[in-house]
Amino acid sequence: MKARNWLVPALLLISAFAQAQEKFKVGYIRVMDDAQAMVAHEAGLYKKHGLDVELIEFSSGTDLIKAIVGGQLDTGVLGFTNAVAWASKGADLKVVGGAQQGYHSIVAREATDIKEVADLKGHSLASQKEGSTADTVLRGVTFRDANLQPGDVNVLGVSPAVAVQSLVSGRVDAAFLFEPYDRIAQLVAPVRQIYEIGAVWPFPCMVVITSGDTLAKRKDAVWKSLDAQREAIEMLEKQPAEAAKLIANYFIAEPTLKTLQRGELPREVVIEEAIATQTFSAKLDGDDLARIQELADILQLQGSLKTRDGKPFDTSAIVDLSWQQAREL
């Protein structure tokens, strides 16, 4: 009996140690909107908070959300529209923190007559894939406000890198881009910026998402990851040059970028300039939550989101702000 009494706490200790050593998997997309996840990893902030993090790259928010739903990821930084679309189908997802406020600009080739959004009629524009957060706000907000109808603009759903290449080669007349691809396009292609959605319709573009199951079972680890990313956001805001050095190679493979007007620019300079255009925030406030609901309503209007009873999807059901409330953000 004594041996058994000794064995039980020993096994519990081993189990607790194994859980502490278990990797915490964070998904991200290689865009400036996800910079907090990259900086937290490269600056050792996850380790500082006691986490052994594996940072896993995804090519799209759709693939990333599938990994969260399937249990292959613990958290991910991605667009809210992915979460609401899956949650409306029954997926157990939770938005647990903020990341980045929407910065998406339209750049148009200087050789065209495009001076404002309405001028895009009859032209080609490179953007993200249909159903993405970028595509949702492009069609549901930007085009709507410019009185552009479906079919007025030839929208090509491609990756940001391909969009920049298409501008350089002249295959498209304009592109709807986020950083750092907006900055890169303006440096390497003969384009001008004609619009930036954050200036006219601010919204929380990227958020931190997990599953309800992960939040229930690994709440402490999820919160530690949010603490690390919050510190990363502080670095991005207060030490952009240092942050740029950490993540420049994520976006630009070569040490320098050949530009049209400024010669060879160190990639760290390009990324620091891109960081400066962004508004990062670990907190979701009342205005953010209202925008999140508005985005869900737009998705429903576009037919990308359907509820069983046809009523508006209540986004508050998938928002868990317990971490920011505990941290008094």
Going by DSSP bridges, is the β-strand pair 75-79/24-29 parallel, antiparallel, or unpaired?
parallel
- Regarding whether 216 and 299 lie in a shared domain, the answer is yes
Cβ 252 vs Cβ 31: under 8 Å: no
**Residue 4 domain-assigned?**
no
pLDDT at residue 131 tops 80 = no
What's phi and psi for 77, nearest 5 deg?
-105, 115
Q: Which of 216, 235, 215 is nearest to 225 (CA)?
A: 215
Report the alpha-carbon distance of residue 207 to residue 84 in Å, rounded.
Answer: 12
The per-residue pLDDT for range 162-191, each reduced to its tens digit, is 999 999 999 999 999 999 999 999 999 999
- 155 three-class SS: strand
Residue 57: what are its φ and ψ, rounded to 5°? -85, 145
Pair 232, 86 in one domain: yes
Cα(248)–Cα(30) distance, integer angstroms: 11
For the chain, the first-to-last Cα distance in angstroms comes to 51
Q: Taking residues 245-256, what's their average pLDDT?
A: 97
254-264 pLDDT tens trace: 999 999 999 99
The rounded percent of the chain whose pLDDT value lies above 70 is 94
Q: How confident is the model at residue 120 (pLDDT cuts 50, 70, 90)?
A: very high
User: Cα(79)–Cα(173) distance, rounded to whole angstroms?
Assistant: 26
Q: Which domain holds residue 191?
A: 105-196
pLDDT average, residue stretch 76-95: 91
In a domain, 292, yes or no: yes
One domain, residues 147 and 177:
yes
31 with 90, same domain: the answer is: yes
User: 129 and 212: one domain?
Assistant: no
CATH number at residue 42: 3.40.190.10
Predicted local distance difference test score (pLDDT) of residue 307:
79
Sign of CA dihedral 58, 59, 61, 64: negative
Instruction: Write down the pLDDT at residue 15.
Output: 46
Write down the pLDDT at residue 5.
Answer: 56
Query: Do 208 and 70 sit in the same domain of this protein?
Result: yes
pLDDT value at 36 more than 50: yes
